[in-house]
Amino acid sequence: MKKNIYNILKGTFLVSDDSFRNWRFIIFISGLAIIMIASSHSADKKVYEIARLKNEVKEMRSAFVDGRSKLMRLKMESHVIAVMKEKGLAPSVIPPKKIKVKKQN
């Protein structure tokens, strides 16, 4: 047991006669490690992208709500009357009348 551990630490299993089998296994494990690291980086990148997009959606939703509230204030009758007063127009005191058009033959 002690001899096997000593041989592993010295690296004799890499230069012995049947070392080709050991090298194949080491290369296979190295390839799997590289694939695992690349997959981990890809997952991290996606997590950061999702977080960035969530923040962007929150900002856009906030801007939408802000714009909608401004629009509601601008559409209010009292605001329209105030703006028209500045331009010299006033609301009519006479109610509107319906105009009926008869079809001419």
Res 29: pLDDT: 95
pTM for this model (two decimals): 0.57
Residues 6+ apart with CB under 8 A from 64: none
Whether the CB-CB separation of 58 and 64 falls below 8 Å is answered with: no
Helix (H) or strand (E) holding 82: helix 77-86
The ranges assigned to domains in the chain are 2-86
Query: pLDDT per residue over 23-68, tens digit each?
Result: 888 899 999 999 999 999 999 999 999 999 999 999 999 999 999 9
